[in-house]
């Protein structure tokens, strides 16, 4: 199929070919797994949740647990209220979570199920909770579904309280490795924070030989309630974290700031400056040295980065972070694309590129990999940066590729390693340099194949 991708680009609006995104419930399920003793629940058919669990399991290489309302023909016609009521009873009786996080699917949204009224009618055990969010698959993407679920936790549980010394952090749709790096940065800067959600330990736990449906990790219910009393909140990623930030501000009066994911030098610098303002503490020597090592690596390998053409694709918040880092390395971003809709993404990328003297890039939201492949057929690039689905283009066009973002299905360990912070930027710089140098070694003449670079 990829060999038959035509070079001529024809405008399409009614069909998506080889998408760059997946559906909202995937993001909602992932967000719920970042809350302690929470069981995600898919209000729809068993087939839907099976796919969502499978995708997350393949990326994290960890079991992604979730339950389902198990719609049949009857529920599809008469509504799924009875299914949800029975499901909730069974879940608390058998699995005993503290909270069930319900997200909708195409089917339940299309027939018009009113989840809020269903939940109000439930007879819940003492100390147990059910929250929900609306996530039809035909709207948005897994990134917006993630934000809707985080906002759902706030709507149901967060209360306006007297301001504490802590801050709130909405980390956005990132890997557990990013969460661990974020916690390390906060600790070094002396900032106490509530992270919602927190998938570390839940989806990157150690092998102990004992299966636990609800691992020790995750943001707990007391923390979700307390987030209504933080002195301010930082929403990392201007799309995934925008909805929970707005809900927290309107419901609890907490001042929030939308900032880019701290990927690359400039974004990490800006994030640390915000933490300095919050804590009143200077950046510790340890982080200064990390930044210096990163800059040293970027300078050492600059001859391999300089003016290499790159295509970047994936989730919008990740792509904008990768774009910033690519420009700092000296790469020329020729194509920048995401499957998630929203023209704010295009404007944000244009603003980032405008800071550099580089050629004009083609930037698009609501794009797909078929279109990206056509662009590359018209003007080749030296490197692809994106998810596992780009490997087919990389093979068809013989282009080196660096895997970053979600999902990474065909490699191991990516969920453990951060992209954020100076550590994440250093790893990304190493991956990019390695991919370009491997290509040089493969293509160069025998007399130019040197072991010293």
Distance between CA atoms of residues 245 and 236, nearest Å: 10
Distances in whole angstroms, Cα of residue 211 to Cα of each of 92, 101, 263: 19, 21, 34
Question: For the residues of 241-252, what is the DSSP string, one character each?
Answer: THHHHHHHHHHH
CA 70/CA 256 separation, integer angstroms:
38
Q: What does the radius of gyration of the chain's CA atoms come to, in whole angstroms? A: 23
CATH number for the domain formed by residue range(s) 24-157? 3.40.50.1980
Q: Name 205's Cβ contacts closer than 8 Å, sequence gap at least 6.
A: 62, 212, 215, 217
Pairing between strand 167-170 and 129-133? unpaired
Helices (H), 158-284: 176-188, 221-226, 242-252, 264-279
Q: Walk along the chain (453 residues) and give the pLDDT tens digit of each residue.
A: 567 889 989 888 888 899 999 999 999 999 999 999 999 999 999 999 999 999 999 999 999 999 999 998 887 877 889 999 999 999 999 999 999 999 999 989 999 999 999 999 999 999 999 999 999 999 999 999 999 999 999 999 999 988 899 999 999 999 999 999 999 999 999 999 999 999 999 899 889 888 888 988 899 999 999 999 999 999 999 899 999 999 999 999 999 999 999 999 999 999 999 999 999 999 999 999 999 999 999 999 999 999 999 999 999 999 999 999 999 999 999 999 999 999 999 999 999 999 999 999 999 999 999 999 999 999 999 999 999 999 999 999 999 999 999 999 999 999 999 999 999 999 999 999 999 999 999 999 998 898 877
Give me the pLDDT at residue 450, please: 86
Sheet of strand 332-337, all strands in order from the earlier edge strand to the far edge: 362-364, 332-337, 309-313, 383-386, 401-403
Calpha distance 315→337 (Å, rounded): 9
Q: Which residues contact 369 (CB under 8 A, 6 or more apart)?
A: 17, 18, 19, 20, 313, 389, 390, 392, 393
CA dist 324 and 271 (Å) reads 14
> Phi, psi at residue 94, to the nearest 5°?
-95, -45
What is the spatial distance between Cα 435 and Cα 432, in angstroms, rounded to a whole number?
Answer: 5
Count of Cβ atoms closer than 10 Å to residue 342 Cβ? 19
CATH class of the structural domain 167-206+213-279: alpha beta
CA distance 408 to 110: 31
Residue with tokens 């130019």: 448
Strand, helix or coil for residue 158? coil
Residue 127 burial class via C-beta count within 10 angstroms: exposed 0-12, middle 13-18, buried 19 and up: exposed
The torsion of the CA quartet 253, 147, 128, 164, rounded to 10 degrees, works out to -30
Q: How far apart are CA 313 and CA 110, in angstroms?
A: 31
Instruction: Please state, in angstroms and rounded to a whole number, the distance separating the CA atoms of residues 430 and 77.
Output: 55
Q: What is the pLDDT of residue 27?
A: 97
Residue range(s) occupied by CATH 3.40.50.1980 in the chain: 24-157, 167-206+213-279, 285-448
Cβ–Cβ under 8 Å, residues 144 and 32: no
Distances (CA, A) of 313 to 19, 43, 54, 269, 432: 11, 31, 22, 24, 15
Residue with tokens 């330990």: 201
Give the model's pLDDT for residue 398. 95
- Asked if the peptide bond before residue 358 counts as cis, ω within 30 degrees of 0, the response is no
- Residue 33 to residue 105: CA distance in whole angstroms: 17
Beta bridge partner(s), residue 362: 335
User: Contact at 8 Å (CB) between 141 and 20?
Assistant: no
With DSSP H G I counted as helix, E B as strand and the rest as coil, what are the percentages for the chain, rounded to 5? 50, 15, 40
Neighbour tally for 413: CB within 10 Å? 9
Omega before 24 within 30 of 0, i.e. cis: no
pLDDT number for residue 74? 80
- E strand or H helix at 394: helix 391-397
Please give the CATH topology (third level) of the domain spanning 285-448.
Answer: Rossmann fold (3.40.50)
**Token digits for 329?**
């390395």
């Amino acid at each position: 199929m990829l060999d038959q991708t035509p070079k001529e680009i024809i405008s399409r609006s009614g069909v998506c070919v080889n998408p760059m995104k997946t559906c909202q419930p995937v993001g909602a399920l992932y967000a719920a797994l970042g809350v302690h003793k929470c069981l995600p629940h898919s209000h729809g058919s068993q087939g839907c949740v099976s796919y969502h669990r499978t995708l997350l399991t393949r990326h994290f290489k960890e079991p992604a647990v979730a339950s389902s309302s198990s719609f049949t023909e009857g529920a599809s016609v008469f509504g799924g209220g009875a299914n949800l009521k029975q499901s909730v009873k069974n879940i608390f009786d058998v699995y005993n979570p503290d909270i069930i996080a319900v997200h909708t699917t195409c089917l339940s949204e299309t027939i018009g199920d009113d989840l809020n009224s269903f939940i109000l009618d439930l007879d819940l055990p003492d100390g147990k909770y059910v929250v929900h969010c609306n996530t039809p698959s035909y709207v948005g993407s897994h990134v917006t579904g993630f934000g809707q679920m985080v906002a759902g936790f706030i709507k149901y549980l967060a209360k306006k309280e007297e301001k504490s010394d802590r801050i709130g952090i909405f980390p956005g749709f990132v890997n557990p490795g990013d969460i661990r790096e974020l916690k390390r940065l906060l600790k070094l800067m002396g900032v106490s924070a509530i992270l919602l959600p927190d998938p570390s330990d839940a989806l990157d736990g150690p092998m102990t030989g004992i299966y636990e449906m609800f691992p020790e990790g995750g943001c707990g219910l007391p923390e979700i309630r307390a987030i209504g009393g933080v002195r301010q909140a930082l929403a990392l990623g201007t799309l995934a974290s925008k909805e929970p930030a707005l809900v927290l501000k309107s419901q609890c009066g907490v001042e929030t700031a939308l900032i880019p994911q701290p990927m690359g030098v400039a974004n990490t610098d800006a994030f640390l400056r915000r933490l300095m303002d919050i804590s009143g503490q200077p950046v510790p020597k340890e982080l200064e040295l990390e930044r210096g090592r990163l800059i040293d690596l970027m300078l050492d390998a600059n001859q391999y980065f300089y003016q290499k053409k790159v295509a970047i694709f994936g989730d919008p918040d990740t792509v904008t972070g990768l774009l910033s880092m690519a420009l700092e390395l000296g790469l020329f971003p020729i194509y920048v694309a995401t499957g998630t809709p929203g023209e704010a993404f295009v404007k944000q990328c244009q603003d980032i590129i405008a800071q550099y003297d580089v050629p004009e890039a083609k930037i698009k939201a609501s794009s797909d990999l078929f279109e990206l492949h056509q662009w590359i057929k018209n003007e080749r690039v030296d490197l692809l940066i994106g998810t596992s689905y780009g490997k087919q283009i990389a093979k068809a066009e013989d282009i080196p590729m660096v895997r970053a973002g979600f999902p990474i299905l065909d490699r191991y360990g990516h969920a453990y390693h951060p992209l954020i912070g100076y550590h994440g930027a250093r790893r990304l710089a190493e991956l990019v340099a390695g991919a370009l140098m491997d290509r040089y070694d493969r293509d160069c003449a025998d007399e130019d194949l040197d072991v010293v670079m």
